[in-house]
């Protein structure tokens, strides 16, 4: 099956866009490496900020939409798929993996708090 990834839309409540941001989760062995994003990365689009946050539980890879524990809002799956490649041992090192889904595929790259998805594996962070 391959390792999994997901992008969740996170808001303060189900019926509001207040607090809107996105969480990118990448399956690791016991949890998901997680980054907070201000917007969805577009294929061959501009670099966007990617703030590394606390790991999330693996069950978030399966959820479609639900309340976030601790009264922290609402999360809904926007994209999900599988990836190939290896996660760096240190979470601060450059990440470059191939992601696949029905509506978003390419090379996902994260370095120094910036994220990009490209249709090729060229690493072009400036």
DSSP string, 47-63: -EE-EEEEEE-GGGGT-
Spatial contact of 83 and 7, defined as CB atoms under 8 Å apart: no
Q: Which two tokens stand for residue 34?
A: 């997680």
CA distance 44 to 64: 26
Reading the chain (126 residues) residue by residue, the pLDDT tens digits are: 579 999 999 998 888 788 899 999 999 999 999 999 999 999 999 999 999 999 999 999 999 998 787 777 899 999 999 999 999 998 889 999 999 999 999 999 999 999 999 997 665 654
Predicted TM-score of the model (pTM): 0.90
């Amino acid at each position: 099956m391959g390792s999994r990834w997901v992008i969740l839309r996170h808001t303060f409540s189900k019926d509001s866009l207040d607090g809107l941001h996105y969480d990118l989760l990448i399956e690791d062995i016991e949890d998901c490496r997680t980054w907070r994003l201000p917007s969805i990365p577009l294929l061959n689009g501009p670099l966007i900020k990617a703030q590394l946050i606390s790991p999330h539980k693996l069950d978030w890879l399966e959820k479609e939409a639900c309340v976030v524990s601790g009264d922290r809002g609402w999360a809904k799956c926007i994209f999900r798929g599988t990836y190939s490649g290896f996660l760096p041992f240190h979470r601060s090192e450059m990440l470059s993996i191939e992601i696949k889904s029905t509506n978003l595929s390419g090379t996902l790259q994260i370095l120094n708090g910036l994220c990009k998805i490209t249709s090729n594996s060229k690493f072009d962070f400036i």
